[in-house]
Chain A
Amino acid sequence: MKLPGWTREPLVHFLVAGALVFAFFALRGNEVDPSSRVISVDREVQAQIALGFEQMMSRPPTDSELAGLVENYVHDEILYREAIRLGFDRDDAIVRRRLAQKMDMAASARAETEMPSENTLKAWYAEHSAKFAEETRYSFDQIWFSDESAAKAGLARLNSGTEPDKVGERISLPKSLEREDRDGVANTFGERFLEAIDRLKPVSAWQGPVASGLGWHLVRLRKLEPGRIPPFEAVRNDVENDWRSATIADRRAKAYQVLRDAYRVEIEQ
C-alpha cells in the first residue's frame, strides 16, 4: 500500500494510536481501581473550589459556603465514579459523539499551537493574497434632490458654472465622504446608491443623477481606490490566523480520511 507523504506526520500517528487505545478500552471497559473508593478533597482541590466562587463574587467564600461547595463536589465525584464502575459510559450516544469530537480535536490540536515558519506564511500569503486585500475606498461629493427632474436641472446649473453650495435641497446627509469603504457608503446612503456609484467613473465632473432609497443624487466621484494588497509584513497576523483555521480544517479532513480508508462500510439498501 502506497501512502502519501503527509501520513508520515506525527499527528497522524497520534490519531491512529488514539484510535487503537479507544478501541482497546471500548472492548475491555474502563475499570475503576478499588482504591478509588477514597475521595481526598485535599487543600488544592478546596482551593480550586474556593477560587471558583471567588471568580464569581469577587470575594472568597465564607467557611459555611465552602463546606457546602465541598459537599457538592463530593456528591458529583461519587456519582461519577459509580457510573464508570457500572460501565454507564458505554453504549451511550452522547459519549460516542463526545469521543468522536475529541478525535477531531486531537487531529487539529497541534495546528492550534503550532508556530508556522515565515516561509510557510509567506507561501500562504502568496497563494491567497486576494483574501488580504484592503477594501475599496470611495471619495466623493454629493448633492441631494427629492426628485429626478430637479436633479437634472441641478446638473445643468452646475455645468453652467453655479457653485455646488447653491445647488440641491437640504438634508442631513454628509456632503462628501473621504476614503469610505463599501459598508460605510451603504450604511449612510443605502445599497441602491452603492450599486449606482459602482457604475460611475472617477472623474472631476458631476455625474448623475443616480437614485438611492433617499431620493436623487448628483455625484462627483473624486477618487476611487481599488483595494490594494498590502505587503506581507502589514498583514502577517491575518495571514497566520487564516493559515491556522484552514490548516485545522484540512488536518481534520485528512485525519478522518486516513481512518475512513481503513474501513469497509456496508450500508444496506
Chain B
Amino acid sequence: MRRNLARWALAGGAAMLLAGCSALGGPDESQTGDGEGTIELAEFPDRPYWGDTHLHTNNSIDAFGFGVRLGPEDALKFASGEEVTSTTGVKAKLSRPLDFLVIADHSDGLGSTRRLYEAPRVAILAMNDETVLRWYDMMHESPEQSQRAIAELINAAANGTIPEALLNSQEEQDKATSEIWTTHLDTLDRYNKPGKFTALAGFEYTLMPDGNNLHRVVMFRDGSAKTKQVVPYPGLDSDVTGLWSYMEGYAKKTGGQVLAIPHNSNVSNGLMFQLTLADGSPMTADYAKRRAMHEPVVEATQIKGDSETHPFLSPNDEFAGFGIKGWELGNLPLTRKTTPDMFAGNYVREALKRGISLEQKLGVNPYAFGLIGSTDSHTALATGDEDNFFGKHTGNEPAIKDRALHSQNLGTTSGRFGWHYLAGGYAAAWARGNTRAEIFDAFKRREVYATTGPRMVLRVFGGFDFSAADWDGDWVRKGYTSGVPMGGELSDGGKAPSFLISALKDPDGANLDRVQVVKGWVDAAGNMHEQVYDVVWSDMDKRVKSGGKVPAVGDTVDRKTAKYTNTIGTAELRAAWTDPDYRAGQRAFYYVRVLEIPTPRWTLFDMVRFGIKLPKDALDDAVAQERAYSSPIWLKPTAS
C-alpha cells in the first residue's frame, strides 16, 4: 500500500537528515512540526485512522483527584501499543494500537490539582479557607476521600462556589500551567512519529454555567514551535466566544490552526445547541459563522453517554435509546434536572436540524458539524472496547470489582450509577496519511465518523449519479471525483441525491445488522423533520420488511458467559441509495448509522468475571447494539 512506500521514503529521508546534521538528541525535525512533507501521501484518503481525542491524565484537575497517577507519557505509550501498568496495578496493553491521540487535560489550573496535592500544607493553611483545607486533607487521607474531594470541587465549579482562595492565585496558576504545558508539548513531539503515530496537542475547555456542560476539547494542528507560544485557555468563569477569541489570537500570532470539539451535549440542559444566543437574544450571523468555523466536529458518543438522539425527539426511531439512561436525568453534576423542553438542545440530530433551519433564516449554519466518538477516559488509558473498559476514572478501574453498582459522585442521590457509563467511543478520520496535518485537516473538512468502540470501516459518498453499477469499478475514485465524501456539501441541482455507502465490520468484532440513512430537512413553512431509512441489512431475503420495519436481527449473547457468536448478521453491507422523498429546493442533511448485532456491554463482562449480581435495570441494559455514525452530507439550494 502507498503508506508503506511513504514510511520507507521517510526512513530513508530521516537517515539522510541525520547524516547531514550533528546529532543533538531529542526528536527528529519531522516529529516536532505539523508533519507536512514528512511522508508520501496517498492520492485519496485510503483508510480510516483510529484515535481518541479526549483522554485525561494526571495533569487533569479531576483525574488526579480521582486517583490516577499515570501521566501523558504513559498515555502515549499505551495508545501507541506499549504495555503500561495502570494506577491500580493492572498491566494493560492495547491489542490494536491507535493511530492518533489528543491528550485533553482540563485547562483550568492544568496540573493545579497536582500542585494542590504537592503544595505544603502551610500554603493551604495560609489561604485561610476551610473548604480548601478540608479538600487538601481529604486528598491525602485516602483514595476514596480524594475522589470525594474532587467531586465536591467539580460541584463547586459548576455552582460557581469555588473558594476565592483558589481563584486568587492566578499568577501562580499561570506559571504552573505554563511549565506543565511546555513539558507536555515536548513529550508529545517525542512520541509523534509521522506515518506511524500522531500525537496532537490539545486541552479541555471546561465551560459549565450552573453545572450545564458546555465543554470543548481544543485540538491543535501544529508542533511545539507554535503551540509553545500560547498556554491553554481556562474555561470556568467565561463564555465560549472568549475561547474563540483565544483561538483566533493563536492563529493570527503563529499562523497555525486550532479547532474545538463540543462534547456531552447530553448533559448541557439544552444549552449546547440553542436556537438563540446564550443570553436568549436572537442568533446572529456573526455568531453562527464563528461557531461553524471553529467547531467543525462534535463528539457524539463517549463514556458519559451517547448524544445522537433521544426517543422524545425521535419517537419513530426504534434505535434511539442508546446510551441515554442515567445521563438524561439532569446536567453534569445533577444539580439541575433536565426537562423535556431541554432535549432539543442536548442531542446532535436535533442540532443538525436546527442548523439548517437557522441557515434558512441567517444564511449561515452554526451547527454544520461532523461526528466523532472518543473516550473521555480519566485513567490515562484510551480504552474504548467493552472487554477492556478501564472505567471513567481510576476509582472504577477493573480492580474495583463491583464498580458497575456504585452510585456516581456526579449525581449520587439522583439515580446515576456505574452501569450507566458506556465503554467509550473512538474517532475515525479518513486521511491520506498519518500526520498531524492530515488528521487535523480530516477533522476540519469533517471527513470523520464516530463509533461506540468497534472499528467498523464506513465509507459514504454523496452525489447525483451514483448507482449499484459503480461497485463494479473503482468506486472510491468515482466517489471522490464525481461526488463528495462524508462531511461534504452538495448543491441542489433539481435531482434527487444518491449515495454510495459501504460498511465493513470490525475484523476482530461483531457482525453487522443493518445500515440506515438518517435524513433531516426543513420544509417550505420552516418546519423541521427527520426520517430514518433502513437501506441495507443482513439476510435481506429472510428478514422481509413488515409494517415498514425490518425484523430484529436476533441475539446470540449468552448472559451467563458474556459470549456471542457471529452466526447472525454479516461481514459487509453495501448500498447505492437514492433519496425517495427528495423535494427540489429543500435544505437537508443525510448521515449514515451502522448497527452491529447485539453484544455484551462491559457490565456483563464484569458480572461474569467478578461474579457480581446486577440489578434488573442494569441486566436489561447489559447487551447492546454498538454503532457508528458518519458525518452528514448536506444538500443546499443552489442560489441562496
Contacts and interface: CB of A to CB of B under 8 A. Distances in A.
Given A57-B249, A172-B504, A212-B507, A180 B1 contact: yes
Contacts of B253: 58
B171 A49 contact: yes
Contacts of B126: 79-80, 82-83, 88
Interface string A117-147: 0000000000000000010010000000010
B552 interface: no
Contacts of B175: 52
A173 B574 CA distance: 13
Contact of A178 (B1, B18, B97, B471): B1
Given A53-B174, A72-B171, A237-B28, A187 B505 contact: no
B179 to A, nearest CB: 11
A193 interface: yes
Contacts of A53: 174
Interface string B552-585: 0000000000000010000110100000000000
Contacts of A56: 174, 230-231, 233, 246
B230 A69 contact: no
Contacts of B230: 55-56, 58
B507 A94 contact: no
A260 to B, nearest CB: 23
A32 to B, nearest CB: 13
Nearest to B245: A57
Contacts, number: 161
Interface in A66-106: 69, 72-73, 75-76, 79-80, 82-83, 86, 88-89, 92-95, 97-98
B588 to A, nearest CB: 27
A241 B25 contact: yes
Contact of A88 (B120, B457, B509): B120
Chain B, interface size: which category? 35 or more
B266 to A, nearest CB: 30
B127 A79 contact: yes
A76 B488 CA distance: 52
Contacts of B7: 181
B96 A187 contact: yes
B508 A241 contact: no
| Chain A binding surface, main DSSP class | helix
B506 interface: yes
A59 B249 contact: yes
Given A214-B504, A214-B505, A94 B178 contact: no
Interface string B12-37: 00110011000101111000000000
A94 B117 contact: yes
B23 A83 contact: no
B250 to A, nearest CB: 6
Interface of A: 49, 52-53, 55-59, 69, 72-73, 75-76, 79-80, 82-83, 86, 88-89, 92-95, 97-98, 115, 134, 137, 146, 170-174, 177-181, 183-184, 186-193, 212-215, 230, 233-234, 236-237, 240-241, 244
27 contacts: A57-B246, A59-B249, A72-B169, A76-B171, A79-B126, A79-B127, A82-B126, A83-B123, A88-B120, A89-B120, A93-B140, A172-B457, A172-B459, A172-B572, A177-B1, A178-B4, A179-B5, A183-B81, A190-B508, A191-B95, A213-B509, A233-B19, A234-B14, A237-B23, A237-B27, A240-B23, A241-B26
Given A146-B571, A183-B96, A184-B4, 19 more contacts: A52-B178, A56-B174, A75-B168, A92-B120, A94-B120, A95-B120, A98-B118, A115-B25, A172-B572, A172-B574, A179-B4, A179-B5, A187-B50, A233-B18, A234-B11, A236-B23, A237-B18, A237-B23, A241-B190
